[in-house]
Structure 1
């Protein structure tokens, strides 16, 4: 349980691009035929956390975009 908390804290520090890169690495790892069941489980948990983090970051950006007042953009 403590390890999951540490993993979650480390993931929260990642940028969107870094998290996507980690997800890509997990995808490469799970395609290995010699991967152990334990490694599959760990990759699944980490992948789920990374995906959730990316979704949260995207929601924040979407909210920021929705809050932009068009008057300040000086669009003609």
Structure 2
């Protein structure tokens, strides 16, 4: 499976679906009972799943807001999360 095909295959998965598939792939590869050619394909799909999960997590982080407090401690609004 080529990297582009693997990426296209996972692009519509939710974070939870992608993570579940990635965990399954890792489990199969760790057992070591997968033929070499299949292992390469699984690794490529796993990498695409990892990148997809990372992209979804970064998008979620960008949506998170931190609460700003006024001088007396009351909530005064929100500001974007500092991702640095």
Q: Which residue of 2 aligns with 1:12?
A: 11
How far did 1:22 drift?
0.4
Runs of 4+, deviation exceeding 6 Å: 67-70
**What corresponds to 1:63 in structure 2?**
62
Q: Which has the higher contact order (CA 8 A, sep 6+)?
A: 1
**Higher strand residue share:** 2
Give how far 1:40 is off: 1.0
Change (3 A) 1:71 1:22: same
More helix by share: 1
TM, length-normalised to structure 2: 0.68
Unaligned runs of 5+ in 1: none
> Are the aligned partners of 2:3 and 2:48 in contact in 1 as well (CA < 8 Å)?
no
Q: How many residue pairs are counted as aligned between the two chains?
A: 71
Aligned partners of 2:25 and 2:46 also within 8 Å:
yes
Q: CA-to-partner distance for each residue in 1:6-55, whole Å, 9 max, x for gaps?
A: 43222010000000000111012113343100011011101110000000
Secondary structure in 2 matching 1:71: strand
